[in-house]
Amino acid sequence: MSTPWDIQSPALLKRLEAVLGEDRATVALNALAPELAAWAEYENAINWHTECLSCANMLSSCITETVRAETAETALASARADLERSDEVQGEMNEKAIGYVREVARLKQQMEELSTTLDEAHGTDRAPLTAAERKFLHFALDQAAEEMSLGDGFTDADQAALDSLRRRAGKDER
């Protein structure tokens, strides 16, 4: 805290500069420095209601340390509160992450179930036909075509199914 007679006081320097000019104000302030320091110390003793300068300095030191301690305690309390908030946020984030992991696991399970259902619907044997299987399939399809040509109640849908099977059998030849 700056007092009006403190050598570091910008207000005192400005007043001296106004009266004496800039160069002379600095010289005067430097010349008066010891007297101003003694005056500040004496004023400090009066503020503490003591005549002993050593006692006043001790009281000033104590109040400075008290203020420093209170400031440190406030900062520590703030840091503890921030830490607690960060722990709460981290806990919330962990809960969300666990929820996401569970959701992913559920979706994977659902995907596996759908894949199994799809495999059952289309048949799980998707390996290409061997030459012998392809030869037998063509023979069976030719027999079916011959039977259909005799006209014993086969429809256009039956012909479309036969054509579809021929196309599929042809794809496996590649």
Name the residue range of residue 158's domain. Answer: 128-171
Q: Is residue 155 part of a domain?
A: yes
pLDDT in tens, 116-145: 887 777 665 556 778 888 888 888 888 888
CA proximity to 64, closest of 10, 129, 2, 1: 1
Count of all residues that appear for the chain in the document:
174
Which tokens sit at 171? 């794809």
Q: Is residue 38 part of a domain?
A: no
Q: Is residue 110 part of a domain?
A: no
Q: Is residue 8 part of a domain?
A: no
Burial 40-60 (b: 16+ CB within 10 A, else e): beeebbeebeeeeeeebeebe
Q: Is residue 134 part of a domain?
A: yes
Q: Is residue 35 part of a domain?
A: no
pLDDT for res 1:
43
Q: Is residue 58 part of a domain?
A: no
Q: Is residue 111 part of a domain?
A: no
Only one residue has tokens 């039977």, namely 147
pLDDT in tens, 17-53: 888 888 888 888 788 888 888 777 777 666 767 777 7
pLDDT for res 127:
66
CA proximity to 167, closest of 130, 137, 124: 137
Q: Give the integer Cα–Cα distance in Å for 77 and 57.
A: 30
